[in-house]
Structure 1
């Protein structure tokens, strides 16, 4: 296990794509720093991951709160643990028309999806630059490629993550630090429950949702192969290719139709 002295920090690591990514890193011998809000869930996840013979350090932090993100950085600084790979996976969405949705919840989503990623990336990138080595994987989404009626704030945050990742990659092209963006489509995780999205037309066919293990594998391979970004899944590649051919207004209209709630007649 050539990576047994290296650490990967993964946010939102107790479920879904984050958990599947953690397993892939563990299988390859990386020690893990996993972050989520629930200590009980972290403990259960750590127990499972330790079966791979690696070290697992847990941090129960609410990354919706800026001060808790800074506290995480400070604690890791004091521990003198080097983070070799940073995975900004934690993220949430909110379903509904913008005029109706809760402002405070949307601001929380902006804090989690954008602010936490900026803070963690700034902190650990500077450490990576001192060593001239490191990898960063950011969870974007195919939502980053189109306007998203019914999920306007979520799509906006993911557009930021993709643009941010591509800009950082360019800035770092003369270093040994790489930045990769993972763009999944609808995936079989708890995202839709948390986003109050179960009435959306887009997710009525549960069999069409991607397996988070497949999404994680695509992202992990892209990271290790030093790719700038990867769209996970053939159907999602087709969707992104099609969206690139259409105007933003037409993409928005198509998305609005796909995302609207299921009517009683459907």
Structure 2
């Protein structure tokens, strides 16, 4: 049983074969997944998928690259959607300093507004971080995000930051990069994160794991992520699957 905690089956990369992709995921042992919506187009599609399949859940948030387009209207919309029975988290949200569409101060403001909303509705958050780790951690601390916790999505930073994340009730999620031959950071993280705070994901259609690197990623490939982590930790794939699934169920409050 595998739980892919971050997929984008709601993007047009899957328009031609979405149902077959979902079927392949099930055949690969992926029993649950969270489809993440991050703008006006992808949020409704995430909800549609969650409503159609009982093993699919949704997260709704506003991507930092598009923070400049975020208004009070979007904030109200996210609050309304947080009450949906299949929405299990708010996000992805955060900071992205790689692209320059949205100024840093606007990203900061939109990030804080979403954290504050998460605290009001008592939901975990999913963090998008690109080249902004220290600011991400500072803002999470200033906004007391530990009250809700969440996921450091597709973590690709030094182990030096892990403790600060764990102290704020965040889980560390690893994806395809942990399988890349030249990626030392995620491999080190995979070995050092406490097993009860570890999650796995694909972030499909992006970041396909080896040997599919460069191709379209899909949820079935999360099995390759689990296999690599098992090898790095010296434990069985079944142990990784069992632990990461239990962690996801606990975080998303899907445990009875």
| Both structures adopt the same fold (TM-score exceeding 0.5) | no
Q: Which has the larger radius of gyration?
A: 1
- More strand as a share of residues: 2
Structure 2 length normalisation: TM-score? 0.39
